[in-house]
């Protein structure tokens, strides 16, 4: 029997607000353990939560960017369970009334686009972190992360392959980063994903029994874990067995999933409305304000780049990987009016330099104005493309505009045809043998005369002019 | 006459006139504490050093003419209110050594108003109880009869005021924990509207019901305390943004032309005949003040206790989850593993009543039971609230007994939780509806035990409560007695 995987993803994205969701502690990553804490996030007796407005704003941005319906009234609930990284003994989350529901986003596949439904988006607080001593029976708790705002994005079970799941994750990641609401750092845990996966016979409408996969900390691992799990479930079903509803952990080292807890061990979280927080009301005005402020999203930007600048899909893809890069490119185009060369210079030399130095485009020593000037100088024939290669390297190194470098190094291209033809005449006179051979049909020697002319001008002559003059003057 | 016998407003007059000092007042109060505390046991912690320091500061301020609402007034705090640097136990072994690094908002407000803190008062463990008998730190005795309970859960605060061991005290009221002990100890106690006084720093029992309020010797002092503690707090999401009036303005207005509702459901079987007689007499006095008393009905009253014992334990089961031995408070040291540590910490750290309510609350929130219990209870709570909204369309305030009986004997109800729960039968509804309630003394039993009458008003009707209570207090001619200690 042939089986079809059914996959749904739950993404937890840390929102990059300055402060935590229910107190004014810093939400920054990487501080000394327990230094970003206060009585509120430590869950001390008597403290109360107050919702951070910025968190709602960020979650609204994502909700609107994924076409969700915003609930005008939503609420917070308590999810009760005991764990040492959860100081209150409950997590404040949204349960029966999430911030947003019924959204969708398009993903890009080799076969075209596919619409993936988004069930809901809600806000909640993160828990702390346990550190286990390898040599002593001791665990330490760092509560810096406790209360850092999270947004959970739950997809519909619309994904049909690990590749689709990866494409969907990349899409969410890209949007979150574009919106500047999440830094998207998977290693630091600011973008985490759990997956629900089941198999069903092709053609069957009802879903099979699903397993929930956890502990996948990269796009690649999500894909690998799903591939493994689909195989595992496939073998089970084909051999007449049954899939058990359970939570499984991805073991990266072994490349397998391992059962963590079954359905019967599932927690009863005893959700109930948090009496310390009032219903969250989101007015039309606020929604309109955020909507009008939404940036162009990556997929739309790619399409526009392809149609407006005649870029290839690949180039458009590279240039829209970040909003800053796309903005840099567009600014260069605006100033130089030459999309294709701008794309080539940005993607070729500039990105190579930046990548070598692990620098962001925002910190590029070459501003768009300088790059545009350089492109215009090439277009005007003032410098050659070959010279530009050296010039852009120097621009990157020194941060100087191209004009200054050209002036300092005397790099201006020789475009004076009279001067060049004078030199050619001298070269012809000095190399009568080669001239004779060329004229008798040895075309290859054309290159020799180009080289000699370049040498005579120390490489500064415009190669096009050299070509034209040589053709004319060498002709028998 | 000793200074500790006076009221806040009387002492303020003396301070303003320059005829006494904060230090004199404080040493008078501590003389009283030294004399009677061993009998009453109203306090868990006495903060004498801090109080002396605060009194000295108050005297400095008085010298400069900077006299604020409570400058130099010795006030006791229920040990459920977090006080920076001062042990805050909540009456539990779990927090027996807990020292908060911060002040509750009400504590900050009292500090700013110039108050002097005498200490932290005894209470039922985590405010769960109606007699102060569930305290880990031993029982508090009723100053009027040392063999009887002071009421609870704020029994220590009520007893401290009744025994003149402070001028006023703060308590908290989740189902009657201010009003019931106030009635049983013969003092004035008010539970304000939910959201009127900040809960920040009040150790949570049931968050949607808890409210802080004052115990005072008379109604005027209650108004003074309310003016000092009420008001919006940005650190609490459920804090009401409504303006706080100066509550003293209501004291002399009288109740001429008012309509007072007498709910028939509050005068049924189980009420002590002497309590009923005293409350009936109060109705007559109120009518004599020019108010019209009319019978009303609050038809869902019979469900209040059931709703309360679902909602309150549910919230408590979650609020008390933080006492797990990990971060602060008591920890069972020799647990085999994490789960064992949790179990033994909570088994040994909480008393029987707290554990009973945690289990009740955990049960009613459990998957499969939520709809039948918590959800249903929340719906009935709406109906109870609506009863009051409708009643307040026809009357200004409602008058009821505060407690069905006067103070009972120590140990009398400890083995029967249901009997204990029934002592809050008349006070629970105000917490469920979020409305304010005030208990004011209305007489004594033949055995010399105080009786209280309760006034209830609509949301933010604290002024009305003070208005009728002040008028009643002035004209009722309740015999001025002091407990003989």
Tens digits of per-residue pLDDT, A234-268?
999 989 889 999 999 999 899 999 988 877 777 89
Compute the distance between CA of residue B370 and CA of residue B376 in angstroms, rounded to an integer.
8
For residue A48, give the nearest of B200, B208, B327 by CB distance: B200
> Who's near A119: CB < 8 A, 6+ residues apart?
A8, A101, A102, A154, A155, A156
Look at A43 and B322 and tell me if their CB atoms are within 8 Å: yes
Look at A82 and B314 and tell me if their CB atoms are within 8 Å: no
Compute the distance between CA of residue B192 and CA of residue B204 in angstroms, rounded to an integer.
16
Helix (H) or strand (E) holding A409: helix A402-409
On chain B, the residues whose CB falls within 8 A of the CB of A89 are: 318, 320-322, 324
Look at A51 and B237 and tell me if their CB atoms are within 8 Å: yes
Look at A278 and B324 and tell me if their CB atoms are within 8 Å: no
How many angstroms separate the CA of residue A91 from the nearest CA in chain B?
10
Check if the beta carbon of residue B132 is closer than 8 Å to that of residue B42. Answer: no
Look at A45 and B203 and tell me if their CB atoms are within 8 Å: yes
pLDDT band with cut points at 50, 70 and 90 for residue A205: very high
* CA torsion, ordered B389, B390, B395, B396, to nearest 10 deg: 10
Q: CB atoms < 10 A from the CB of A111, how many?
A: 6
Q: Nearest residue on chain B to A86, judged by CA atoms?
A: B322
For residue A46, give the nearest of B204, B338, B365 by CB distance: B204
> Who's near B200: CB < 8 A, 6+ residues apart?
A46, A47, A48, B104, B105, B233, B235, B236
Residue B122 belongs to some domain of the structure: yes
On chain A, the residues whose CB falls within 8 A of the CB of B373 are: none
Check if the beta carbon of residue B220 is closer than 8 Å to that of residue B469. Answer: no
Considering only residues 333 to 352 of chain B, which have any Cβ-Cβ distance to chain A shorter than 8 Å? 338, 342
Q: What is the extent of the structural domain holding B52?
A: 3-252
Is B177 considered catalytic here?
Answer: yes
Look at B342 and A82 and tell me if their CB atoms are within 8 Å: yes
Mutate which of A270, A273, A279, A281 to test chain B, going by most B C-beta atoms within 10 A?
A270
Whether chain B has a CB inside 8 Å of the CB on A49: the answer is yes
Compute the distance between CA of residue B331 and CA of residue B325 in angstroms, rounded to an integer.
4
Tens digits of per-residue pLDDT, B419-466?
888 889 999 999 999 999 999 999 999 999 999 999 999 999 999 999
The class level of CATH for A417-474 reads mainly alpha
Mutate which of A42, A48, A274 to test chain B, going by most B C-beta atoms within 10 A?
A48
- DSSP 8-state class, residue B202: B
On chain B, the residues whose CB falls within 8 A of the CB of A141 are: 326-327
Higher pLDDT, A451 or B455: B455
Positive or negative, the Cα torsion across B235, B190, B425, B289? negative
Higher pLDDT, B415 or B177: B177
Higher pLDDT, B464 or B478: B464
Place of tokens 């554990």: B355
**What percentage of chain A has pLDDT greater than the value 70?**
99
Q: Which of B483, B440, B363, B475 is nearest to B183 (CA)?
A: B440
Tens digits of per-residue pLDDT, A346-385?
998 888 988 888 888 988 888 898 888 888 888 877 777 7
Cα of A378 vs its chain's centroid, Å: 32
Considering only residues 196 to 215 of chain B, which have any Cβ-Cβ distance to chain A shorter than 8 Å? 199-204, 206-208
Whether chain B has a CB inside 8 Å of the CB on A279: the answer is no
Look at A46 and B82 and tell me if their CB atoms are within 8 Å: yes
On chain A, the residues whose CB falls within 8 A of the CB of B322 are: 43-45, 87-89
Q: Tell me the pairing of strands B74-78 and B168-173.
A: parallel
SS3 content of chain B, % helix, strand, coil (to 5): 45, 15, 40
The predicted structure's pLDDT at residue A201: 92
Look at A276 and B238 and tell me if their CB atoms are within 8 Å: yes
Average pLDDT, chain A: 91
Q: What's the mean pLDDT in B27-32?
A: 98
Tens digits of per-residue pLDDT, A279-311?
999 999 999 999 999 999 998 999 999 999 999
Question: Is the confidence at residue A411, as pLDDT, over 80?
Answer: no
Q: What's the mean pLDDT in A401-406?
A: 82
How many angstroms separate the CA of residue A188 from the nearest CA in chain B?
25
Place of tokens 């002709």: A475
How many angstroms separate the CA of residue A83 from the nearest CA in chain B?
9
> Who's near B88: CB < 8 A, 6+ residues apart?
A45, B79, B80, B81, B82, B95, B98, B99, B100, B120, B203
Q: Given the cut 0.85, state whether the ipTM is greater than it.
A: yes
Angle between helices A162-179 and A298-309 (to 10 degrees): 90
B244 preceded by cis ω (within 30°)? no
Higher pLDDT, B181 or A420: B181
Higher pLDDT, B212 or A460: B212
Q: CB atoms < 10 A from the CB of A285, how many?
A: 8
Mutate which of B86, B123, B209, B324 to test chain A, going by most A C-beta atoms within 10 A?
B324
pLDDT band with cut points at 50, 70 and 90 for residue A394: confident
On chain B, the residues whose CB falls within 8 A of the CB of A48 are: 199-200, 235-237
Residue B113 belongs to some domain of the structure: yes
The predicted structure's pLDDT at residue A270: 96
* Domain definitions of chain A by residue range: 3-287, 296-409, 417-474
On chain B, the residues whose CB falls within 8 A of the CB of A271 are: 365, 370
Question: Is the confidence at residue A414, as pLDDT, over 80?
Answer: no
On chain B, the residues whose CB falls within 8 A of the CB of A87 are: 322, 326-327
Whether chain A has a CB inside 8 Å of the CB on B183: the answer is no
Whether chain A has a CB inside 8 Å of the CB on B314: the answer is yes
Catalytic residue, chosen from B131, B153, B423, B429, is B153
Compute the distance between CA of residue A139 and CA of residue A21 in angstroms, rounded to an integer.
26
Catalytic residue, chosen from B28, B78, B120, B191, is B78
Tens digits of per-residue pLDDT, B416-428?
888 888 889 999 9
Look at B342 and A141 and tell me if their CB atoms are within 8 Å: no
- Tell me the CATH number at B64: 3.90.1300.10
Look at A277 and B362 and tell me if their CB atoms are within 8 Å: no
Catalytic residue, chosen from B92, B157, B177, B317, is B177
For residue B95, give the nearest of A45, A87, A276 by CB distance: A45
Structurally, chain B folds into a number of domains equal to 1
- Number of A/B CB contacts below 8 angstroms equals 100
On chain B, the residues whose CB falls within 8 A of the CB of A281 are: none
Residue B184 belongs to some domain of the structure: yes
Q: Nearest residue on chain A to B319, judged by CA atoms?
A: A88
How many angstroms separate the CA of residue A38 from the nearest CA in chain B?
9
Compute the distance between CA of residue B441 and CA of residue B480 in angstroms, rounded to an integer.
11
* The model's pTM: 0.90
How many angstroms separate the CA of residue B339 from the nearest CA in chain A?
9
Query: For residue A314, what are the CA distances in angstroms to A161, A260, A317, A318, A464?
Result: 23, 41, 5, 6, 30
Look at A44 and B100 and tell me if their CB atoms are within 8 Å: yes
Q: Nearest residue on chain A to B317, judged by CA atoms?
A: A80
Whether chain A has a CB inside 8 Å of the CB on B318: the answer is yes
Residue B241 belongs to some domain of the structure: yes
């Amino acid at each position: 029997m042939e089986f079809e995987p059914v996959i749904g993803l739950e993404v937890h994205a840390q929102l990059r607000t300055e402060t935590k969701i229910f107190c004014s502690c810093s939400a920054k990553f990487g501080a000394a353990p327990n230094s970003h804490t206060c009585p509120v996030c430590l869950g001390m007796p008597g403290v109360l939560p107050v919702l951070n407005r910025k968190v709602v704003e960020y979650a609204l941005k994502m909700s609107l960017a994924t076409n969700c319906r915003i609930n005008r009234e939503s609420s917070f609930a308590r999810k009760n369970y005991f764990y040492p990284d959860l100081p209150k003994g409950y997590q404040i989350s949204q349960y029966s009334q999430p911030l947003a529901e019924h959204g969708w986003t398009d993903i890009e596949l080799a076969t075209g686009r596919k619409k993936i439904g988004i069930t809901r988006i809600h806000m909640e607080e993160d828990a702390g972190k346990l550190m286990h001593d390898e040599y002593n029976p001791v665990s330490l708790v760092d509560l810096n992360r406790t209360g850092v705002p999270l947004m959970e994005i739950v997809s519909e079970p619309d994904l049909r392959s690990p590749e689709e799941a990866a494409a969907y994750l990349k899409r969410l990641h890209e949007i979150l980063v574009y919106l500047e609401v999440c830094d998207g750092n998977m290693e630091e845990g600011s973008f985490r994903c759990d997956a629900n996966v089941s198999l069903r016979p092709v053609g069957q409408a009802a879903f099979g029994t699903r397993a929930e996969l956890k502990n996948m900390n990269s796009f690649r691992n999500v894909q690998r874990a799903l591939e493994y799990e689909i195989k595992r479930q496939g073998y089970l079903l084909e051999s007449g067995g049954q899939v058990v509803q359970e939570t499984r952990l991805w073991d990266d080292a072994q490349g397998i999933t391992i059962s963590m807890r079954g359905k019967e061990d599932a927690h009863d979280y005893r959700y109930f409305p948090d009496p310390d927080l009032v219903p969250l009301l989101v007015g039309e005005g606020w929604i309109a304000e955020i909507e009008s402020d939404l940036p162009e999203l990556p997929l739309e930007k790619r399409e526009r780049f392809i149609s407006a600048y005649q870029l290839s899909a690949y180039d458009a893809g590279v240039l829209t990987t970040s909003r800053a890069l796309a903005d840099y490119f567009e600014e260069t185009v605006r100033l130089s009016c030459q999309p294709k060369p701008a794309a080539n210079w940005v993607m070729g030399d500039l990105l190579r330099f930046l990548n070598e130095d692990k620098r962001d485009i925002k910190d590029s020593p070459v501003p768009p104005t300088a790059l545009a000037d350089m492109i215009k100088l090439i277009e005007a024939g003032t410098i050659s493309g070959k010279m530009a290669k050296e010039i852009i390297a120097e621009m990157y190194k020194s941060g100087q505009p191209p004009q200054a470098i050209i002036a300092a190094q005397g790099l201006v291209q020789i475009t004076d045809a009279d001067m060049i033809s004078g030199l050619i005449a001298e070269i012809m006179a000095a190399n009568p043998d080669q001239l004779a051979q060329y004229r008798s049909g040895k075309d290859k020697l054309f290159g020799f005369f180009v080289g000699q002319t370049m040498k005579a001008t120390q490489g500064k002559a415009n190669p096009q002019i050299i070509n034209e003059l040589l053709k004319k003057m060498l002709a028998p | 006459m000793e200074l500790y016998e006076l009221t806040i407003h009387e002492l303020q007059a003396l301070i303003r006139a320059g005829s006494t000092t904060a230090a004199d007042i404080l040493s008078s109060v501590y003389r009283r504490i030294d004399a009677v505390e061993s009998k009453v046991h109203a306090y868990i912690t006495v903060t004498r050093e801090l109080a002396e320091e605060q009194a000295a500061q108050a005297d400095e301020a008085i010298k400069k003419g900077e006299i604020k609402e409570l400058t130099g007034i010795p006030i006791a705090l229920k040990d459920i209110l977090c006080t920076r640097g001062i042990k805050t136990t909540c009456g539990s072994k779990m927090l027996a050594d807990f020292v908060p690094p911060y002040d509750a908002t009400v504590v900050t407000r009292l500090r700013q108003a110039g108050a002097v803190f005498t200490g932290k008062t005894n209470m039922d463990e985590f405010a769960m109880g109606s007699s102060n008998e569930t305290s880990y730190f031993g029982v508090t005795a009723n100053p009027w009869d040392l063999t009887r309970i002071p009421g609870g859960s704020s029994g220590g605060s009520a007893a401290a005021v009744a025994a003149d061991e402070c001028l006023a005290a703060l308590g908290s009221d989740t189902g009657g924990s201010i009003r019931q002990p106030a009635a049983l100890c013969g003092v004035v106690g008010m539970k304000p509207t939910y959201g009127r006084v900040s809960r920040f720093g009040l150790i949570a029992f049931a968050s949607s019901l808890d409210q802080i309020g004052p115990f005072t010797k008379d109604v005027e002092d209650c108004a003074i305390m309310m003016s000092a503690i009420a008001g919006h707090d940005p650190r609490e999401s459920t804090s009401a943004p409504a303006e706080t009036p100066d509550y003293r303005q209501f004291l002399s207005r009288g109740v001429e032309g008012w309509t007072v509702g007498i709910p028939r459901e509050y005068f049924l079987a189980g009420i002590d005949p002497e309590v009923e007689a005293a409350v009936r007499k109060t109705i007559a006095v109120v009518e004599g003040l020019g108010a019209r008393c009319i019978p009303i009905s609050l038809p869902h009253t019979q469900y209040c206790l059931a709703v309360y014992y679902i909602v309150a334990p549910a919230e408590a089961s979650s609020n008390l989850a933080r006492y797990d031995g990990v971060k602060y408070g008591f920890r069972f040291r020799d647990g085999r593993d994490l789960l064992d540590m949790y179990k033994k910490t909570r088994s040994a750290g909480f008393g029987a009543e707290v554990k009973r309510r945690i289990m009740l609350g955990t049960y009613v929130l459990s998957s499969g039971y939520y709809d039948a219990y918590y959800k249903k209870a929340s719906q009935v709570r709406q109906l109870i609230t609506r009863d009051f909204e409708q009643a307040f369309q026809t009357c200004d305030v409602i008058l009821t007994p505060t407690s069905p009986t006067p103070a009972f004997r120590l140990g009398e109800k400890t083995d029967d939780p249901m009997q204990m729960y029934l002592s809050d039968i008349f006070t629970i509804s105000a917490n469920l509806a979020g409305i304010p309630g005030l208990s004011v003394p209305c007489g004594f039993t033949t055995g010399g035990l105080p009786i209280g009458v309760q006034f209830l008003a609509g949301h933010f009707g604290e002024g009305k409560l003070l208005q009728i209570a002040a008028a009643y207090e002035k004209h009722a001619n309740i015999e001025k007695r002091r407990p003989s200690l």
